[in-house]
A and B are shown apart, each in its own frame.
Chain A
Amino acid sequence: METPTRFASGSDRSKVARLAWQGRIFGAYFVQFLKMRLAYRMDFFIDTLAVGFSLLIQLAVLGVLFSKVRELDGWSFPQVLFIYGFSLVPLGLFNLVSVNLYGFADEYLIGGRFDRVLLRPVGSLAQVIFESFNVSGLNEIFLGLAVMAHASWKLGADFGVIDLLALLFLAPGAALVYLGVFLAITAVSFWVEDKMGLAPPVYNLIRFSRYPITIYSLPVRIFLTFVLPFAWVAFYPAAWFVGGPELAKVALATPLVGVVVFTGAALMWRRGVRNYVSTGS
């Protein structure tokens, strides 16, 4: 067979066709992942149980707190419960796809798996994210939905189709905020070869996002809104449902914040790839 000295670039393909192809690849990666997980069935079962248990404990803590205090800075127990329930949905979505970000520096950069990623005709970020899933993220999503349902019943709220649509719009937007923040932290490892261990303390700060941020002092509120935008992962979007008309408008900015944070992080990632230094041999 004769070799042309110029390769076809394949750029004539339409955007839609490309997207469809990427969707198929994503599906194929997911199926591959499930097959691997099924090889270790017990792990899967234990994971699911452990996450469910820790979520129940957190709920109990909230219950105990509100058995002593009737209100938290003007927020009632069902309102706080709703915010907490909401926070679990984007967190679950995020946890579903973020496992590989934590181990990225170790496994991909130092362990050398990133070479292989760069040798395939799929976006490097998409490959890293979709090479592994954390199925226990589904627990958080379902529990979050249940808690929200229970809280709205206690509130006697009358949510309609619009609110359901808002949820479908706000929860993924909030998940993008999570993904953006942790992607930025992960991308730092392209430049800093030491393990910074920045992710765990930041992950712990997520706790702050589960309460109405009006209970914090102004500097903390500013920090959580603009610097480390965790106020956007639960409080602001949940305010659409329980925060009154003023905050409900703010809630609608959530997906925009998500897109901005994620885009910034993705650009950092891209620069990081250019800066990638492979391991020896």
Chain B
Amino acid sequence: MEPLIHVRDLCKDYRLTDRREGVRGGLHDLISPRRRLLRAVDNVSFSIAPGEMVGYIGANGAGKSTTIKMLTGILTPSAGEVTVGGMVPWRQRQQYTRHIGVVFGQRTQLWWDLAVVESFRLLKKIYEVDDATYDRQMKLFDELLDTGKLLSQPVRKLSLGQRMRCDLAAALLHRPRVLFLDEPTIGLDVVGKGNIREFLRGIQEREGVTVILTTHDLGDIEQLCRRVIIIDQGRVHFDGELAELRRRVGQSVRLSVDLHEPTDSEALAAVTAGLPVVWDAQQGLRHVARFNRVEVRAADVIRLVVNDRPVQDLHLAEQPIEDVVREIYRQAAAGGDK
């Protein structure tokens, strides 16, 4: 299928000015500023087919937001090509924005002092949404996001989760074909995250909208995206299916166990023998097991340990996204181009 989003050799340089210290330094800066270029996005290429939901991940400062801002037409690239639906975002900005929806998790696009519905009405006018479509969309949002009872409240009085639901609705009001989400679940609690994820799945099924999602939360990716693109220091280090990422990164879950009696980790290894679980070599009360979620179910490991000896406490942690990124980056540096 012909790709909907097409990115080739995309680069973005920022010009930074380093400041000198003190008054003399300040004067010096005035006359000859120390400038250097920072390449925030470095030869990024990928293409995305219609209807795909892609996770675009990387650590802070990796170049995620800069890429999204070029794809949405906010920033003009230093070099390279982008077309979305055959349009060049920063060149045909005004026409282009009619076809996309954008949500920045950190910032609202709603009018702060006004009732939510006022923002929707203004957006309806801006995007020229006809009455029938508007009514249908509002019904859909109420059904999936439960926005109906929020409409009459001023935006500033909404909780973060409520605001995010309204922001998502606002971004989808004009039925865009592409949705860009920058950290849509940031700062939300478990319930809030669950709501947003469920909605995104629903809207994607119903409307077939193409979604690019940046996130820090591996949970978002796991539940929503089949494909991930990992970027680090401006470069793409991985582009493929989530299952392939798991296979390459390996042991991504960390189970820590607090026991009643101190023991050697080898004893625990014996308990889980037969399962591909690795215990960190140590003595004492606390022990850490690592395993791959795809190969081993956490419940199986926990059951074996608990049945074998008294346990005080258990804690299961996903490998943080930064570690996954670092691991991919390390592999790329070590393995060269395999």
Residues of A within 8 A of B (CB): 1-7, 9-11, 21, 24-25, 28-29, 32, 35-36, 39, 112, 115-116, 118-123, 193, 274-278, 280-281
Contact = CB atoms under 8 A, between A and B. Distances in A.
Given A35-B114, A36-B114, A276-B75, A3 B4 contact: yes
Interface in B1-41: 1-4, 14, 17
Of B61, B98, B100, B206, the most chain A CB neighbours within 10 A belong to B98
Nearest to B94: A121
Contact of A119 (B85, B97, B113, B125): B97
A17 to B, nearest CB: 11
Contacts of A118: 72-74, 93, 97
Contacts of A120: 97, 126
A26 B87 CA distance: 27
Given A1-B207, A2-B208, A3-B50, A112 B107 contact: yes
Main secondary structure of the interface of B (DSSP, over half): loop
Interface string B104-147: 10110101011000100010011110000000000000000000
B251 interface: no
A266 B66 CA distance: 26
B126 A3 contact: no
Given A3-B210, A122-B94, A281 B177 contact: no
Nearest to B107: A112
B238 interface: no
A116 B114 CA distance: 17
Interface residues of B, number: 51
Contacts of B14: 277
Of A2, A5, A28, the most chain B CB neighbours within 10 A belong to A5
Contacts of A2: 50, 208
Contact of A21 (B73, B109, B128): B128
A281 B186 CA distance: 12
17 contacts: A2-B50, A3-B4, A3-B51, A3-B177, A3-B208, A3-B210, A5-B1, A5-B85, A32-B118, A36-B114, A116-B109, A118-B74, A118-B93, A119-B72, A274-B76, A276-B74, A278-B65
Contacts of B86: 5-7
A11 B69 CA distance: 24
Contacts of B73: 118-119
Nearest to B50: A3
A32 B93 CA distance: 24
Contacts of B109: 116, 119
Nearest to A32: B122
Contacts of A116: 107, 109
Contacts of B113: 36, 39
A115 B207 contact: no
B96 interface: yes
A5 B50 contact: yes
Given A2-B50, A274-B90, 15 more contacts: A1-B206, A3-B51, A5-B3, A7-B95, A21-B128, A32-B111, A32-B114, A36-B114, A115-B107, A118-B73, A118-B74, A119-B109, A276-B74, A276-B75, A280-B65
Interface in B145-196: 177
Contacts of B84: 7
A121 B87 contact: no
B136 to A, nearest CB: 12
Sort A-B residue pairs by CB-CB distance and give the 6 closest, nearest first. A7-B85, A3-B50, A6-B86, A5-B2, A7-B99, A121-B97
Contacts of A36: 111, 113-114
Contacts of B209: 3
Of A119, A122, A277, the most chain B CB neighbours within 10 A belong to A119
